[in-house]
Amino acid sequence: MSFLFPLGMAALGALAPLVALYLLKQKRTEQVVPAAFLWTEAMEDLRASSLFQRFRAPLLFVLQAASVILCALAAAGASLDLDLGSKPRRLLVLLDRSASMQATDGGEGRTRFDAARDAALELVDGLRGEDEMMLVAFDRKSEVLQTFTTDGDRLRKVLAAVGPRDLPTRPAQAVETAVSFARQGRAWDVEIIVLSDGCTPEALPHVPFPVRYAALGTSGDNQGIAAVEVSRQGGEDAQCFVRIENGHDAPAKRTAVLRRGAEVLDARVVEMEPGADATAVFELPSSPGTAEMSVSLEGKDVLPADDRAHFLLRDEAPRTGFVVRAEPSVHFDPAKVQRLRPGLALVGVTLAEAEAALAAGTKVDFVCWDRTAPTRLWDVPAQMFIACLPPGAGLSDAGVMEDPVIIDWHRTHLVTSRCQFDDVLVHEAMRVAGHERSLPLIESTGGPLALLVPVPGRDVLVVAFDPSRSNLWLKLSWPLFLANSMNHLLAGAARDGEESHLPTGTAVTLDLRPPVAVTRPRGEPLTLAAESDDAALPPFAATDAGGIWRFRGADGRESLRAFVLADADEIRCAPRTELVTGSATVASDPSGFRRNALLRDPLLFAALGILLLEWALWCGRR
Amino acid sequence: MALLTKDFLAKLESLEIVSRRIRRGRFRGERRSARRGASVEFADHRPYGRGDDLRFLDWPLYARLGMLMTKLFHDEEDLAVHLVLDRSASMDFGEPSKLLHAKRIVAALGYVALLGANRVSFWSPGAGSSGDCDLRDLRSTRNAERLLQAIESLPADSRHETGAPGAGSTLLGEPLRRWIGTRRPRGVVVIASDFLHRDGAWEHLRPLVRGGLEVHAVRVQDRDEIEPQVEGDLRILDSEDGSGADVTVTPALLDLYERARLEYDRRLEEFCRSRQVSLAATVTDEPFEKLVLEVLRIRGLVA
């Protein structure tokens, strides 16, 4: 037997007044009678007639004391060891601290994370002798909170200090970490315990050890902001596109409210089918300087963390770009294109000039590789490849498509919205291979003609045909397509420190003089210091909370950054009842975590029963 | 007189103490004695002896048989009536107390005995400062008032305080044996007590029976002894020897008490029956007049 709260044994102190009362009670009322021997004989007969009666005098006291002792044991959290294995155990506890663990359906008003922590504490309380436990927390990354230890107090302190963060769930790394640690403990009974809601898109690796899994939470009634995009057409007021997802299996209706600081600017009512999404578009008012904006969903659901997204509306900074071409083109004249995207200064250069400038460290925001592919993929925020392919992006030229017929295009994407391609005739185009991870924007009978290709850190736009060898450049859709493309590419390609927002967990480079005072979104202060006085600050990656972060350098200069959770997998937070590890499936079994059976309820029932028995005996004596 | 009213005393004048046997008295009285004496009631003949009073020769018998026979007559002597009153601490219970009830009975019987020209003795042992009350050989109704006042003024023995065994027991046991040994009583003994003793009261009555006395036992009890009105957790203390017992009064215990009490009564009655001791029991909530006028008459103590 072990005790969860040994201090509860202090309840045994109640025995002292009980004994005192018993001793006082022993001073019975004295009754003088003519002859006591008749009573003595009767008492002897009574004792002789029943063995039970022999103990009757102190029996009530014994019963009362027993009930007090049982209550004290219950208060001390007495528990019975059910696992009587002889081998010491090694428990690897993987604790999910992602955003979805902030859902408030953990039971008894707790969050899922609270429930996970309680389950972990139960495991700590169940450690015996040489049993060891290791704690690994995970969200988008994993972190070893505590290596294997038998020290229950240390584990409890670690668990008390850890909390959920506004980050997505990526448990694979944590599982790999756990497996590597588990391999070191062959002398123990190793077990990996996953305390999570299982809301992750990641496939977990195979785990060659026993795995137990507790699916925490009960509800998927949640809607959240899955994406925020601030788009600014050149010379126009910015727009904010907010994608709201319904993670619930029932229709939902929410109101999205746009605020500048605490001031409500606008609101949109969005209705969503089960599992579907909706977009709310807000016109953002122009304002000098930097405005702290937010979009929030009014109403309640189980996960408040994804109901608000903060972003910063900044003055538009001038942008520069190259149009890299071997010869002038009729379809991409920098002077004309510049009119489509005011604020973007484009310069026509040759491939050699462009690559020389980029190699020399020239910072440009946009490069259009017009029928001239670079020798490598340069670190440029926005890039567009016309009739050529980005190197190193996994794409290859699989030949020429003759007269491909456009059959469809992405009608809601920003790049192709409001464009018409149904009467466009393309003479020839590249047949692009390896585009499975890409998003096709214009589809033809021979394959995609325009596609967004993910490259490290961003997307690049690939147009697989030469517009001058089609009638597209003669149509209205072409400048619209170009303007949309540049807006889309540049919207997601803000320079460091000029982004409207970043995903939570993104590391940021701070161009501030250390030490830097950091104020987290909820006001908690933090100080960043460089390794030496003249050293630059390392990238700051602890951006684990959604909201506006304030960074103030030693010289008083302040920099604001907004971080947004915006993760669809966190929004669809209905707990998964199964966890797939490799080819194995682990069903959730929260009840299986109790290696120690808590005896609180049986003890309390026993104490109550004893008190009832004592009461019955007392009544019987009267 | 507080113990007995005049009306009751008047009723007592029609009663007399009855002895089942003819006993020798000390003085002349109104009872036939075993001794041959000078009464007019013929008892027997015996051969004439020199010195016999010639007036008692049975001349008609001499005429018929030619034998000189002297007529013998019953003698009439007084009857010794010993009244013994237990005033031990155990008698000081109840309302009215057992002692008061016993006093009235003893006083009534003493008065009846004096009316019958009996020789009345009264003895009541006492502990402590009160000491024994011992009135001897009271005769005639002139002593009635003395007797009754003596009885009335007797206090009950103080209850046991010290805890020494036997400290509160004043009648049964050693005092009674001492009284028998020193007084060697003859005649009728009326002993009024509750006859409660740890060793059994009958054990202490044996010396009386062995002494050839005609013993009449009047047992006085309180209703609470028969049907105890107690409840809860108690420390029962014996009024006489201070011994105690912790009891929790339950119906089962009361049943066992009742059983123990009845067993005690049975053994007392059996002793009395086998030793020809008349036993009359009374309870303090019953009128003592009824006992004296009816019960004792039935028991053969008075007629």
In this predicted structure, the answer to whether residue A596 has a pLDDT above a threshold of 70 is: no
Q: Do B238 and A35 touch (CB under 8 A)?
A: yes
Distance from CA of B233 to the nearest CA of A (A): 6
Residues A347 and A444 placed together within one structural domain of the fold: yes
What stretch of H or E contains A102?
none
Give the DSSP H or E segment for A361: none
Beta carbons of A46 and B93 less than 8 Å apart = no
Q: Are residues A323 and A468 in the same domain?
A: yes
- Both A108 and A57 in one domain: the answer is no
User: How far is residue B283 CA from its own chain's centroid?
Assistant: 17
Residue B30 has a pLDDT of: 55
Instruction: Give the count of beta carbons closer than 10 Å to the beta carbon of residue B21.
Output: 9
Segment A118-122 shows an average pLDDT of 88
| Shared-domain flag, residues A194 and A167 | yes
Q: Check CB contact of A186 with chain B, cutoff 8 Å.
A: no
Do A481 and A384 fall into the same domain?
yes
- Say which CATH number the domain at A282 has: 2.60.40.10
User: For A319-358, what is each residue's pLDDT tens digit?
Assistant: 888 999 888 777 777 777 777 777 788 888 999 999 999 9
pLDDT value of position B166:
45
Closest CA to A588 of A194, A250, A58: A194
Query: Within an 8 Å CB–CB cutoff, is residue B198 touching chain A?
Result: yes
Query: Strand A406-409 vs strand A396-402: parallel, antiparallel, or unpaired?
Result: unpaired
Residue A586 phi/psi, 5-degree rounding, is -110, 120
| A35: closest chain B residue by CA | B238
**Whole-number pLDDT of residue B233:** 77
- pLDDT (tens digit, 9 = 90+) per residue, A121-131? 888 887 877 78
Each residue's pLDDT tens digit, B97-106: 888 888 888 8
Q: Which amino acid makes up residue A361?
A: G
Residue B198 with chain A: CB contacts under 8 Å = 35, 37
- Whether residue A385 is predicted with pLDDT greater than 90 in this model: the reply is yes
> Per-residue pLDDT for B159 more than 60?
no
Give domain status of residue A314, yes or no: no
Domain shared by A111 and A184, yes or no: yes
Asked whether the bond before A274 is cis by omega within 30 degrees of 0, the reply is: no
Mean pLDDT, rounded, for A211-240: 82
Per the prediction, chain B carries an average pLDDT of: 79
Strands (E) located in chain B: 28-47, 69-77, 80-85, 119-124, 133-138, 188-193, 214-221, 232-238, 244-249, 278-283
Q: Which residues contact A352 (CB under 8 A, 6 or more apart)?
A: none
Q: Which of A31-40, A114-123, A228-237 has the lowest mean pLDDT?
A: A228-237
Q: Which pLDDT band, with edges at 50, 70 and 90, does A255 fall under?
A: very high
Is the per-residue pLDDT at A83 higher than 90?
no
Residue B230 contacts A where some CB pair is shorter than 8 Å: yes
Q: Is residue B174 pLDDT above 60, yes or no?
A: yes
Q: Supply the pLDDT for residue A309.
A: 92
Both structure tokens of A600: 């609180």
The mean-pLDDT minimum among A134-143, A438-447, A474-483, B268-277 falls in A474-483
CA distance A72 to chain B (A): 29
What's the pLDDT tens digit per position in A527-553?
888 777 667 778 888 888 999 999 998
Per the CB < 8 A criterion, the answer to whether A484 and A416 are in contact is yes
Q: Model confidence at A367, in pLDDT bands (50, 70, 90)? A: very high
A261, A278, A309 - which closes a domain: A309
| Nearest CA among B192, B246, B195, B254 for reference residue B226 | B254
Quick check: A457 contacting B, CB < 8 Å?
Answer: no
Please report residues of A whose CB lies closer than 8 A to that of B233.
25, 28-29
User: Do A116 and A148 fall within a single domain?
Assistant: yes
pLDDT at residue A548 in the model: 92
Bridging pattern class, strands A547-552 and A558-564:
antiparallel
A55 or A139, greater pLDDT: A139
Nearest CA in chain B to A29: B234
Percent of chain A with pLDDT over 70: 91
Are A94 and A207 in the same domain?
A: yes
Ramachandran angles phi, psi of A198, nearest 5°: 75, 15
pLDDT of residue B246: 79
For residue B10, the SS3 value is: helix
Find chain A residues with C-beta within 8 A of B163's C-beta: none
B204 touches chain A (CB under 8 A): no
- Nearest by CB to residue A31, choosing from B236, B250, B252, is B236
Cβ contacts of B240 on chain A, cutoff 8 Å: 34-35
Higher-confidence residue of A282 and B171: namely A282
Same domain, A124 and A76: no
The nearest CA of chain A is from the CA of B232 a distance in Å of 6
Kindly state whether A45 is in contact with chain B, defined as any CB-CB distance less than 8 angstroms.
yes
Chain A nearest-CA distance from B152, in A, is 21
Determine contact, residues B134/B122, Cβ cutoff 8 Å. yes
Positions of E strands within A50-112: 78-81, 89-96
Grade residue A602 by pLDDT with cuts at 50, 70 and 90. confident
Contact list, B196 vs chain A (CB under 8 Å): 34-35, 37-38
A196 within some domain: yes
What local confidence, expressed as pLDDT, does residue A130 receive? 79
Q: What is the pLDDT of residues B36-76, one digit of tens each?
A: 565 566 778 888 888 888 888 889 888 988 888 888 876 65
CA dihedral of residues A220, A223, A227, A233 (deg, nearest 10): 160
* Residue A356 belongs to domain spanning: 319-491
The predicted pLDDT at position B168 comes to 47
Q: Chain A within 8 Å of B283 (Cβ-Cβ)?
A: no
CA distance B221 to chain A (A): 10
Judge contact between A348 and A585, C-beta under 8 A: no
Among B93, B233, B257, the residue with its CB nearest the CB of A38 is: B257
| Total structural domains within chain A | 5
- Which of A258, A286, A309 is the last residue before a domain boundary? A309
**Residues of chain B with C-beta less than 8 angstroms from the C-beta of A29:** 232-235
Q: Does residue A570 lie within any of the structural domains?
A: no
A351/A479 same-domain check: yes
pLDDT at A585 over 80: yes
Residues of B in contact with A622 (CB under 8 A): 231-232, 250
Judgement on whether residues A365 and A448 belong to the same structural domain of the protein: yes
A86 versus A485: the higher-pLDDT residue is A485
Average pLDDT, chain A: 84
A301 in the same domain as A280: yes
Mean pLDDT on A510-526: 87
Q: Which domains does chain B have, with CATH numbers?
A: 6-13+78-298 (3.40.50.410), 30-76 (no CATH)
State which of A176-185, A449-458, A592-601, B288-297 shows the largest mean pLDDT. A449-458
For residue B120, count CB atoms less than 10 angstroms from its CB and return exposed for 0-12, middle for 13-18, buried for 19 or more: buried
Could you tell me the CATH number of the domain that includes residue A422?
Answer: 3.40.50.880
